[in-house]
Structure 1
Amino acid sequence: MNYTDLKHEASRIKRDFSIIDYFQGLVSVGALKYEGMQGKEHFFGFLSQRTGSIAVDHRTNVWYDHAAGRGGDVLEAVQVFENKTFAQSVEQLSDFPTERTVIPTNKPKAAPKIKIESVKRVSHPALVNYIRTRGLEPNEISDFAKEVHWGNKGRKYFAVGFPNESGGWVLRSSIFKVNILGGGISIQILGTPNRIKIFEGWFDFLSYLKLSGATDFKAIILNSTANLKLSLILDVLVECEVVDLYLDDDATGEKYTNFFMKAAQLYHYCRRNSISTDWDLKMLKGSRNKFEKLISTLKISSRDVEGIWRFQTEVTDQRYRYKGFEDLNDFLKGSII
């Protein structure tokens, strides 16, 4: 699907595909539970949550996770909850009908229970082989990776698992690329951190460790670029000015790298000029050009805007290190062939 077709299909999906149907599909596979209606919104939640935090409005066909502070349309939901790219999300939903169905409002549908049966050191031959196809050895990642066995609807599964900050698991194997019991970012702190490094996925982080042997940094593993929201960027910049970005060397990586670097420029410009950095992010919801709206809201003069985008920060784009490769893990695999 070329870029023009992708955009047209994305517009059609956003308009016609029922976001309620999508979230109910997540319920049917045990990824979420349905909580019923509150006011005019349907509420869903992760199985580990006592009260569901994800509000879905069938009238506007959008969702918002109050706990994570993020939301959007159905394509953004696929990116967040299934860790897919924008293009993959469009292709996936293109394969499904767009007729809308109605969720019963009186009897919430019970979600199948996902049960973690064991978490142990990786030893299964299939998983050992999978790790090796990623250019790594099990002993090299044993401090971070676990062999996770779980059950759902009477079936048993296993995969290499990595923890995330919502208490869930990021699961990877030659078959699985899913999150269970909650999605979101993962954080690892090595030594005494003097900088923050942001990786798109766990295998990029692990590849960096093998290639560099570096310590003394805080790693934020996105698990999906959809998790790289402005709220997270601000939290990172408040904590540390020195940030290294290791996103994929593709169009999506380019988009999110530029977004982060522009946010850093505006943030540090504001700090240098005693302009508030307590930005109203809710006001930006739905804005096509968030920085343009922020600059207007902060009453920054148009003659100063050019200076903002020349502002020097300590946020660096590290993709030059693996130029010509899809990502850092791809570079590692290429370097040991």
Structure 2
Amino acid sequence: MDFRKQKLSITEAKEMDMVQYLSLLGHEPSKIRNNDYWYRSPLREENTASFKVNRKLNRWYDHGLGEGGNIIDFGIQYFDCSVGEFLKEMNGGFSFQEPSKSFPKRKNEPEHQLKILKDVALSSHALIRYLEQRKIPVEVATRYCREVYYELNAKNYYGIGFKNDSGGFEIRNPYFKASSSPKDITTVKNASDEVAVFEGFMDFLSFKSIRENEINNTSDFVILNSLSLFEKARPFLESHKSINLYLDNDAAGQKVAREALSNSKKYNDHSKLYQNHKDLNDWLVHIGKQQKKRLGNKL
């Protein structure tokens, strides 16, 4: 199958709105003054916003770096890639742009119209950059994830794929969260009498990245891939002597944790370790790499 398509031209790429593009990447302005949008730089660590986009000119300037330019100049620095690679990432044979922005869901349309085309080793600059932003080392991600190419509504896309026990994939990229059929949990078995439970694979990867240097880290793991699959996972979970819950700090996650604790003394709720954050990955992103080793001992 030929996956190649006509590339977005340089002229077309330059016309893309920088403010909207930064928003898609997860960067929002700290302040707006007329046509000037100020950000904490996406290109480096900083506390005070010194990265400016003039929306009228559609140009950026990073005062800390003393550099600026158009969206292509930004993209090749942000993804650490060539102009050709950046154009391919934006709109090549496969796009990682959010399908829902191009294809609004129609009434009575089936929830899943996603078809996996192929999966390969992780290599995309954009996906690796996304993992770095989530504080997931690529060495950890490549042990458990694939680069998945899929079709949705007659368009081709790609993302980070995490396989479940039935052969389906959970798929993530900077703009899109989806799953392919069949939907199922993912188990990682190490013949342990202890098991750790996560709602999503980003939290599992966060746990593994924090404790990646521990030789004796041989717990079993269950990634639910959906909180609704908790009951399905219970027989496997409760075959262990100790069950450690790392569920999200939201109403749904905490409700399941409370019910589990009331059902069996085997369950242990570890969500207080990241109680001021949405989930384990959100906590990891905020504590930063400097504290990973010290805080890893608490998990």
Q: TM-score range by the shorter chain?
A: 0.5 to 0.7
**Structure 1 residues 253 and 153, CA, compared in 2 at 3 Å: closer, same or farther?**
closer
Give the drift of 1:153: 4.5
Tell me the secondary structure at the aligned position of residue 219 of structure 1.
Answer: strand
1:334 Cα deviation after fit: 1.0
Give the drift of 1:137: 2.4
Please give the root-mean-square deviation of Cα atoms over the aligned residues, in Å. Answer: 2.2
**Residue 173 in structure 1 maps to residue 173 in structure 2:** yes
Q: In structure 1, what is the Cα distance between the partners aligned to 2:269 and 2:122?
A: 33
Q: Distance in 1 between matches of 2:106 and 2:258?
A: 30
Q: Give the match for residue 194 of structure 1.
A: 193
Q: How does 1:133-282 map to 2 (within 5 A)?
A: 133-189=133-189, 191-213=190-212, 214=214, 215-229=217-231, 231-237=232-238, 239-264=239-264
How big is the shift at 1:318? 0.6
| 1:275-290 matched pairs, under 5 angstroms | none
1:321-336 mapped onto 2 (5 Å cutoff)? 321-336=273-288
1:16-35 alignment runs, 5 A limit? 24-26=108-110, 30-31=113-114
TM superposition shift of 1:250: 2.0
Offset of residue 22 of structure 1: 9.4
AA of the residue aligned to 2:196: K
Task: Point out the structure with the larger helix share.
Answer: 1
Match of 2:283, SS?
Answer: helix
> Which letter maps to 2:110?
L
Percent identical: 25
- 3-state SS in 1 of match to 2:113: coil
Q: Which amino acid aligns with 2:224?
A: L
Aligned twin of 1:317: 269
Unmatched runs of 5 consecutive residues or more in structure 1: 1-20, 32-113, 265-312
Inter-partner Cα distance in structure 2 for 1:224 and 1:23 = 24
Equivalent residue, structure 2, for 1:125: 125
Instruction: Give the 3 Å change call, closer, same or farther, for CA 153–225 of structure 1 in structure 2.
Output: closer
Relative to 1, partners in 2 of residues 1:232 and 1:155: Cα closer, same or farther, differing over 3 Å?
A: same
- 1:132 and 1:23 mapped to 2: Cα distance? 37
Report the Cα distance in structure 2 between the residues aligned to 1:140 and 1:30, rounded to whole angstroms.
30
Q: Residue 233 of structure 1: CA displacement?
A: 2.0
Aligned twin of 1:277? none
Q: Given that residues 233 and 260 in structure 1 are in contact (C-alpha distance below 8 angstroms), is that contact kept between their aligned partners in structure 2?
A: no
- Deviation of the 1:118 alpha carbon: 2.5
Structure 2 spans left out of the alignment, 5+ residues? 1-104, 290-299
Q: How does 1:38-53 map to 2 (within 5 A)?
A: none
1:26-70 CA deviation, whole Å, 9 max, x = no partner?
A: 16x525xxxxxxxxxxxxxxxxxxxxxxxxxxxxxxxxxxxxxxx
Contact 2:140–2:208 (8 Å) recurs in 1: no
Q: Secondary structure at the match of 2:142?
A: coil
Cα distance, 1:320–1:153 mapped onto 2, change above 3 Å: closer
Instruction: Tell me the alpha carbon deviations over residues 177-223 of structure 1, each in whole angstroms, 9 at most, x when there is no partner.
Output: 1111211211112x442301110110111111111235211111011
Q: Aligned letter for 1:129?
A: R
SS state at 1:207 partner: helix
Superposed structure 1 runs of 4+ greater than 6 Å apart = none
